[in-house]
Amino acid sequence: MKDRIEIVASGFGGQGVVRLGQIVGEAGVKQGLRVAMLKSHGTEMRGGYVRSQVVLSKDAIDSPICESPDYFIALSSAAYERFKDTVPNDGIILYDPALVEKIDETLNCTQKAFPAKTLSMENFDKPLFANTLVLGVVAKIIDVLDKDMVLDSILKIIPKFHENNKKAFQIGYDYTF
């Protein structure tokens, strides 16, 4: 494991960006890691800009800021544009093509399109489970995270719809790019 792993998720309010960061962080705590997770948001409850920054480390964390995220989960075009250039060459951008319309082909990092919203509509007839689908992919691509710990954290932090969340998580986890 690297000294510190930085994960940024950003989109707009109501998508579960904070929840997503919280679940990744909770899994980190369960795995005995040190965790810092900052959330920044506008004044609106829904629709405003939101960002979660998660740092995972074996040691105490000094700066809680993700200046060069190893993983960036983009859930809106605005978020993508704002943070895409902070991702280093060995970093990964995970984005939902239904939400991020235009991709910057000049970036050197790996970019993975994951149709979370579409998959949620196909499997559950509503976009509600897009977030859990994304977490399935996150559990797969972030090496340090333990799959079961992420799922446990989802079930702990989201008190409702456990069966659908388990199903969505597995679909995300099994998705092949």
Partner 1 sequence: MKRFLETGNFAITEGAILVGCRFFAGYPITPATELAEAMSLRLPQEGGIYLQAEDECAAMHLCIGASLGGYKAMTATSGPGFILYADPYGWALGCECPVVVLNSGRVGPVSGITGAPGQGEFYLMRYPTHGGNFETICLAPNSAQECMAMTVEAFYLSERFRMPVSVLADQLITDGFEDISVPENDAEMKEMGFRVWPRKIHQGPDFYPVTDELDIPPVVLGQNTGALCSDWTPTEEGYDIEEVEAHHKHAYRLIYKVRNNRHIFNHLYEKVHMDDDPDLVVVSYGTPSRVVNTAVKKARSNGLKVGALRLINLWPFPDEHFSLNTKYLVVELNWDGELVREVQRAAPKDSDVHFLGTCGDLPTVPRLTETFEKILKGQPLQRIGWEVEAW
- Give the residue with the Cβ less far from partner 1, 64 or 97: 64
- Give the residue with the Cβ less far from partner 1, 52 or 120: 52
- Give the residue with the Cβ less far from partner 1, 21 or 114: 21
Q: Which residues bind partner 1 (CB under 8 A)?
A: 21-22, 25-26, 28-29, 33-43, 61-65, 67
Cβ 41 to partner 1 shortest distance, Å: 4
- Give the residue with the Cβ less far from partner 1, 29 or 107: 29
Candidates 51, 19, 20, 23; CA nearest to 38 is: 51
Angle at 78 between CA 125 and CA 93, to 5 degrees: 75
Whether the CB-CB separation of 171 and 119 falls below 8 Å is answered with: yes
Whether the CB-CB separation of 117 and 98 falls below 8 Å is answered with: yes
Cβ 71 to partner 1 shortest distance, Å: 17
Q: What is the token pair recorded at 130? A: 């897009």
Cβ 22 to partner 1 shortest distance, Å: 6
Q: What is the DSSP letter of 157?
A: H
